[in-house]
Amino acid sequence: MADQLIQFKNLKQINMKTKSSGREDSRSSDLNSDMSGSDIHSSQLMELFEAELKDIYWAEMELTKEIPKMIKKATSQDLIDALENHLAQTKEQVSRVEHVFEILGKKAVSKKCEGMEGLIKEGKEIMDECEEGAMCDAGIISAAQKIEHYEIASYGTLRQFAHTLRISNAADLLEQTLVEEKAADDKLSRIAVTAINDQADMEESD
Ligand code: FE
Ligand code: ZN
Ligand code: FE
């Protein structure tokens, strides 16, 4: 994939100039006319970009339903706060993906993300099996971090695609979400350390 991206980077992309604002809608129709070899490459990358966007759109919408279940099951106030904060961000991320579709001049369409579905399923299993409390919090953190890592990978790729396709306003939006996902992941790491230390202290004093 990295090699391919480098190839794409070196292509001349006459149809993908995005310097002017408000001209986004004409871009998709430009793509279909007078294609040179390099345009075909960029249109294939555009297809991949759209497919990835549909995937993450499904994932984000699903997460707006799943994060509340994690919040319900969590006991640490830090964890609850972090999840609530990220739920609000996730709702904004859904709108941001819709905005990217708009920039492409496409209707926002979702396609089931098998990867995220699996991660959510694993998270559910952990939550069904754990007793509420510190151990369950640890399980929720681990499930949530796997989800964040998946999102970080997706948005990293999407941002790179947008950049390569020279759709800079889309790249900026995807970058904003990427920053939020990384921050959410870092926050969870810090909570995990605190939670484990607290638990160890409690066990020592028993
Ligand atoms: Fe997200
Ligand atoms: Zn996926
Ligand atoms: Fe996230």
The average confidence (pLDDT) of the chain is 85
In this predicted model, what pLDDT tens digit does every residue of 57-90 receive, in sequence order? 999 999 999 999 999 999 999 999 999 999 999 9
Separation of CA 205 and ligand 3 centre (Å): 36
Q: From the CA of 183, which ligand is nearest?
A: 3
Q: What is the pLDDT of residues 18-32, one digit of tens each?
A: 444 444 444 444 444
C-alpha 108 – ligand 1 centre gap (Å):
16
User: Is 8 inside a domain boundary?
Assistant: no
In a domain, 35, yes or no: no
Residue 118 CA, ligand 2 centroid: distance in Å: 10
CA 152 to centroid of ligand 3, rounded, Å: 8
Ligand 2 centroid – CA 116 distance (Å): 6
* pTM metric for this prediction: 0.79
12 within some domain: no
Domain presence at residue 22 = no
Residue 5 lies in a domain: no
Supply the CATH number for residue 70's domain: 1.20.1260.10
User: What one-character-per-residue DSSP string does the chain give?
Assistant: -HHHHHHHHTS--GGG---STT-GGGHHHHHTSS--HHHHHHHHHHHHHHHHHHHHHHHHHHHHHHHHHHHHH---HHHHHHHHHHHHHHHHHHHHHHHHHHHHT--------HHHHHHHHHHHHHHHHSPTTHHHHHHHHHHHHHHHHHHHHHHHHHHHHHHHTT-HHHHHHHHHHHHHHHHHHHHHHHHHHHHHHHHHHHHHH-
Instruction: Indicate which ligand has the atom closest to the C-alpha of 112.
Output: 2
Mean pLDDT per 10-residue section of the chain, whose length is 206 residues: 45 41 44 60 92 98 98 96 98 98 97 98 94 92 98 98 97 98 97 79 72
Q: Is residue 2 part of a domain?
A: no
| 108 within some domain | yes
For ligand 2, the distance from its centroid to the CA atom of residue 150, given in whole angstroms, is: 8
Taking the centre of ligand 1 as the mean of its atom positions, its distance from the CA of residue 131, in whole angstroms, is: 27
- Report whether 39 contacts 13 (CB < 8 A): yes
> Does 56 fall in a domain?
yes
| Count of structural domains, the chain | 1
Please give the residue range of the domain that contains residue 113.
40-200
CA of 64 to the centre of ligand 1 (A): 9
What is the Cα–Cα distance from 67 to 82, expressed in whole angstroms? 11
